[in-house]
Amino acid sequence: MAITSKVVYQGQLRTECVHVASGQVILTDAPTDNHGRGQAFSPTDLTATSLATCILTTVGIVIEQGRLPALQLEAEVIKRMSADAPRRIVRIEIDLHVRGAQLDAEQQARFERIAHTCPVALSLHPDIVQDVRFHYHT
């Protein structure tokens, strides 16, 4: 099996993550409320953001296959952490803005079904609330 990424601890609660196939780099930093500098995505930020990117990518596949019209997609992500120990993500809120075509009820249902069943959505622990709100703009 091929290696997906290599992660190196840089010190001071920062990591450098390299996507092996492409060489792309992501830095992570602990958030300021957990002893870090908050100068990059935190690991939990990446988890929440991964849900949004997976939704958009999975819908994009369906658009590319011609099963939905061309759309402009944008997501705003809010990650909510537990107030008490242990620290964990308790809720991910995503406002998903859809522009570019008027979707009928069947297309909207397909779109929303895809969003709720993308691989990341199905991989997250069921205790994490996934609040995905759809905003259809013409």
Cα of first residue to Cα of last residue in the chain, in angstroms, is 45
**Mean pLDDT along residues 102-125:** 96
Do 130 and 97 fall within a single domain?
yes
**How many domains does the chain fold into?**
2
120 pLDDT more than 90: yes
Please check whether residues 108 and 76 belong to one and the same domain. Answer: yes
47 and 25 co-located in one domain: no
Confidence grade of residue 107 (pLDDT, cut at 50, 70, 90): very high
Distance, in Å, from the CA atom of 45 to the CA atom of 31, rounded to the nearest integer, reads: 9
- pLDDT value at position 123? 98
Residue 138 has a pLDDT of: 80
What pLDDT does residue 97 have?
Answer: 97
Query: Over the stretch 32-75, which tens digit does the pLDDT of each residue have?
Result: 988 999 999 999 999 999 999 999 999 999 999 999 999 999 99
Range of the domain at 20: 5-34
Closest Cα partner for 52 from 127, 108, 110, 131? 131
Residue spans of beta strands (DSSP E) within 1-138 = 5-11, 14-19, 25-29, 72-81, 89-99, 129-136
Q: What pLDDT is stored for residue 67 in this prediction?
A: 92
Which tokens belong to 87?
């620290």
Whole-number Å distance between alpha carbons of 135 and 138: 10
> What's the mean per-residue pLDDT of the chain?
96
Strand partners, 133: 95
